[in-house]
Amino acid sequence: MTEKPFPPSFSSDPVEALLDEVATEPRPERIVEGNLRGQVAIVTGGSSGIGRAVALELAGCGVDIAFCYLDGPPEADAEAEAVARELKQLEVRVYKRGCDVRDSDDVNAFVRETLDALGRIHILVNNAGIGRDRALWRMTDEQWQAVLRTNLDGAFHFTRAVAPHMRAQEYGKIVNITSVHGIRSEFGIANYAASKAGLIGLTRSAAVELGPRNINVNAVAPGYIRTTRLTEGVPSEILDRARERSALGRLGDPQDVAGTVVFLCSEAARHITGVVIPVDGGYLL
């Protein structure tokens, strides 16, 4: 009996047959990071440190920037004005004002004002954060609540405020700036570690809830980063130990974090959501 040949579209090799089948599936469009141009981003805590670096990196990609900052310290307005000038030199539109991220009414107002000033919101970077380090048995209610309300409640307030707009347009990128200390804690930072661990939980929950409307929600977990207010008060011996513990043998810069944020906001990361990316030079290894 003569054996019948396989039809031209099939192969006697199961692997080749599977590859033939896969080859007929549509491919995603070629991804270009330049597609951020013309989008609008909100960056909280954008007047210094990581927030400033993120705002400038996004603006360098042609993204219009709305940023808020803690209005209170005498130097706050001057810092914010300096960042606004830097952003405008990159030929993007800018909206800024002091905003208390702990106050949901103030956050809602800031989001409405951003829509009025810049038209839409495509990106949210929840960066605003503080630390109040102390052994937990000496930690006051105020120290606990100030950190949780700023670092965790603030991100929740902004995420909730932008969600209806992003859901309506069926597009959005949300990046939360958590910390390696939300993954592995150290002595004296119970409030900070709890807030950043909570932010990881918020990231994953928001990714599940907002994903069906094409909204990516991810987190970046910096290690010890130079030139930020959170590391200004850290003793030099702790920074030295962190440097030695890092696989790369160095501390990070705000730009290291900013580059990862921009990647997560680009279409290069369109199929990434609910993840936490450490930017720590191998500190957690």
Token representation of residue 177:
């700036």
Q: What is the pLDDT of residue 23?
A: 42
In total, the chain counts a number of residues equal to 285
Domains identified in the chain, total number: 1
Report if residue 73 sits inside a domain. Answer: yes
pLDDT at site 228? 60
Q: What is the pLDDT of residue 233?
A: 63
Q: What is the token pair recorded at 140?
A: 């006051």
Q: For residue 244, what pLDDT is reported?
A: 82
Residue-range definition of the domain harbouring residue 107: 33-279
Cβ proximity of 76 and 46 under 8 Å: no
Q: Is 171 an active-site residue?
A: no
Which CATH number characterizes residue 173's domain? 3.40.50.720
Q: Is 6 domain-assigned?
A: no
Residue 12 covered by a domain = no
pLDDT at 229: 62
- Tokens standing for 249? 């043998």
| Residue 171, in any domain of the structure | yes
pLDDT score of 230: 57
d(CA 205, CA 200) in angstroms, rounded, equals 9
Q: Are 63 and 42 in contact (CB under 8 A)?
A: no
| pLDDT score recorded for residue 27 | 44
Query: Which of 95, 192, 224, 283 is flagged as catalytic?
Result: 192
DSSP3 helix / strand / coil % (the chain, rounded to 5): 50, 15, 35
| 19 falls within a domain | no
Sign of CA dihedral 256, 261, 267, 270: positive
Which stretches of the chain score pLDDT less than 70?
1-34, 227-233
Position 284 in a domain: no
Is 138 a domain residue? Answer: yes
The DSSP symbol for 158 reads H
- Note whether residue 16 is domain-resident: no
CA distance 159 to 203: 10
Question: Distance between CA 71 and CA 89 in Å, rounded?
Answer: 24
